[in-house]
């Protein structure tokens, strides 16, 4: 049984147990659950399926700039505070003597909390758990054969994600090596919690959390036990219903936690929407490569997009021109972080660092660090005209590389849903690079 199938069966089972058999039942149940917790649907939001994004939210009334998008009692969110006040979750950690401090990421801890509650039939979060999608479309979940057609920049990020999740799983397995579940007496690892489940939960948390001010949350739980275990700030919270809002590059939202009791999480929209038009949240000004890797989608024509280049791309260009780069030059570029922020922008052209790196490697004759320094940090305005052809060739080579990936993935007929998203992403990149060449 594959990962997706296993996760789907488990969620179906959970949905059947909760008496909800269709999407609308699930969201009606979520509505009632939040209602019992004190939520009022002030902006008359409603769950719909939209052609461009799938499941999302719209309002049954017009929304104006600066209107409230949603306001939810803070205790409905799953934050550090929730974990701290959960007796069963605390008991589990208390069963381990000296759990290592500052080793867990908060995202990982939330992912573990999700699978912990997913397993428990009597979980107070059962209604919310049924609304988490059965699978995610991040390239992380591509089939092995599809990985051959992924650009290096994406592959490197998948490898890093995999290492992080595996290390986290190994840490949990090691610490809870003799722990058994109090509801069914089975050993926790690996019998109840498998690596595949944690992978699913990791991306569930990644794509469904909202940002909450960690100072506010920490202030509510002085002497927090879990705060001692995590190595980063508890700035994430799972947010029932709010997590149905999709991201748009043209949305502009402001969030806040009210300063008086009862504490509420509020989201305001900076732009207006007409009734039944999909309303959006904005995760930040993110390019498509980031949206794809972290959240499993991309936006056609994303206005915050740019295309990153790596030193290896410049090396390919040099090879095609029979230029041998001196190691001093590479060392200089790396030492001064000029290999970071190397990108092209469709309308604004190549970035400063890309221009400087190309000039140093392909035009500059000196290899002495003091001369390279004078060149790199002096006036570089005239460089771009000197390496215009190099930039074009660099982009041309990238275009050919992506067209090959696209062709390979198109020929691979049994694509996963992640593979489908990557296919669209490659087409989007090809269109972006082509437009750049037209303008440049
Ligand atoms: Zn159990």
Are residues 177 and 311 both part of a single domain? no
d(CA 294, CA 209): 12
- Does residue 302 belong to any structural domain of this protein? no
* Closest residue by Cα to residue 47 from 39, 36, 37, 58: 58
10 CA to centre of ligand 1 in angstroms: 14
Task: Kindly list the strands in the beta sheet with 246-247, ordered across the sheet, starting from the edge strand earlier in the chain.
Answer: 45-50, 54-59, 278-281, 246-247
Are residues 280 and 319 both part of a single domain? no
73 CA to centre of ligand 1 in angstroms: 30
Are residues 238 and 333 both part of a single domain? no
Q: Which of 159-163, 177-181, 214-218 has the lowest mean pLDDT?
A: 177-181
Supply the range of the domain harboring residue 381: 307-439
179 CA to centre of ligand 1 in angstroms: 11
Are residues 127 and 12 both part of a single domain? yes
82 CA to centre of ligand 1 in angstroms: 20
- Does residue 74 belong to any structural domain of this protein? yes
Are residues 285 and 355 both part of a single domain? no
Q: What are phi and psi of 185, to 5 degrees?
A: 65, 15
201 CA to centre of ligand 1 in angstroms: 18
| Cβ-contact 298, 316 below 8 angstroms | no
- Whole-structure pTM value: 0.91
The CA distances from residue 436 to 59, 353, 387, in Å, are: 38, 18, 16
Q: Which of 70-79, 230-239, 315-324 has the lowest mean pLDDT?
A: 315-324
pLDDT tens digits for 210-251? Answer: 999 999 999 999 999 999 999 999 999 999 999 999 999 999
Are residues 140 and 254 both part of a single domain? yes
d(CA 229, CA 313): 41
- Does residue 211 belong to any structural domain of this protein? yes
Are residues 338 and 392 both part of a single domain? yes
Are residues 156 and 113 both part of a single domain? yes
193 CA to centre of ligand 1 in angstroms: 10
pLDDT tens digits for 333-389? Answer: 999 999 999 999 999 999 999 999 999 999 999 889 888 998 889 887 788 899 999
User: Which alpha helices (H) appear in 73-151, and where do they start and end?
Assistant: 80-84, 87-94, 106-119, 126-129, 144-147
Q: Which CATH number does the domain housing residue 223 bear?
A: 3.90.1410.10
Could you say which of 295, 326, 345 is where a domain stops?
295
**The predicted structure's pLDDT at residue 2:** 39
191 CA to centre of ligand 1 in angstroms: 10
291 CA to centre of ligand 1 in angstroms: 35
Length of the chain: 440
- Does residue 216 belong to any structural domain of this protein? yes
Are residues 75 and 215 both part of a single domain? yes
Dmax of the chain from CA atoms?
Answer: 74
Are residues 354 and 291 both part of a single domain? no
188 CA to centre of ligand 1 in angstroms: 8
Are residues 228 and 367 both part of a single domain? no
pLDDT tens digits for 31-51? Answer: 999 999 999 999 999 999 999
* Closest residue by Cα to residue 192 from 183, 205, 203, 204: 183
Are residues 205 and 67 both part of a single domain? yes
The number of domains in the chain is 2
100 CA to centre of ligand 1 in angstroms: 24
Could you say which of 261, 295, 329 is where a domain stops?
295
């Amino acid at each position: 049984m594959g990962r997706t199938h296993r996760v789907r069966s488990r969620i179906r089972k959970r949905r059947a147990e909760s008496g909800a058999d269709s999407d609308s039942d699930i969201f009606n149940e979520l509505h009632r659950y939040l209602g019992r917790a004190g939520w009022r649907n002030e902006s008359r939001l409603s769950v719909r399926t939209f052609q461009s994004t799938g499941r999302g939210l719209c309002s049954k009334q017009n929304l104006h700039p600066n209107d409230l998008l949603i306001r939810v009692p803070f205790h409905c969110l799953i934050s550090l505070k929730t974990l701290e006040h959960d007796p069963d979750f605390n008991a589990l950690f208390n069963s381990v003597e000296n759990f290592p401090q500052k080793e867990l990421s908060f995202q990982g801890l939330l992912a573990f909390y999700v699978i912990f509650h997913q397993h428990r039939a009597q979980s107070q979060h059962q209604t919310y758990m049924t609304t988490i999608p059965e699978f995610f479309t991040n390239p992380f979940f591509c089939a092995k054969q599809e990985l051959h057609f992924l650009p290096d920049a994406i592959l490197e990020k998948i490898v890093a994600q995999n290492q992080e999740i595996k290390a986290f799983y190994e840490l949990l397995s090691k610490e809870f090596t003799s722990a058994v579940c109090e509801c069914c007496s089975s050993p926790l690892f690996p019998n109840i919690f498998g690596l595949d489940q944690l992978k699913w939960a990791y991306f569930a948390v990644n794509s469904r959390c909202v940002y909450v001010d960690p100072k506010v949350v920490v202030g509510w739980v002085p002497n927090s036990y879990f705060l001692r275990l995590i190595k980063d700030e508890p700035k994430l919270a799972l947010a029932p219903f709010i997590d149905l809002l999709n991201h748009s590059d043209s949305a502009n939202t402001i969030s806040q936690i009210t300063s008086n009791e009862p504490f509420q999480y509020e989201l305001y929209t900076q732009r207006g929407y007409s009734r039944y038009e999909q309303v959006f949240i904005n995760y930040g000004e993110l390019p498509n490569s980031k949206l794809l890797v972290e959240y499993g989608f991309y936006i056609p024509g994303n206005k915050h997009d740019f295309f990153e280049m790596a030193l290896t791309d410049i090396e390919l260009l040099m090879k095609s021109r029979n230029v041998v780069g001196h190691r001093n030059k590479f060392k200089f570029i790396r030492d001064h972080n000029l290999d970071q922020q190397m990108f092209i922008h469709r309308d604004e052209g190549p970035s400063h660092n890309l221009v400087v790196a190309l000039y140093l490697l392909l035009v500059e004759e000196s290899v002495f660090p003091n001369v390279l320094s004078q060149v790199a940090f002096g006036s570089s305005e005239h460089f771009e005209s000197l390496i215009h052809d190099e930039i074009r060739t660099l982009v041309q080579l990238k275009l050919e590389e992506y067209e090959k990936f696209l062709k390979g993935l198109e020929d691979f007929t049994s694509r996963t849903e992640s593979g489908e998203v990557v296919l669209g992403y490659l087409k989007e990149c090809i269109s972006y690079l082509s437009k750049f060449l037209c303008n440049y």
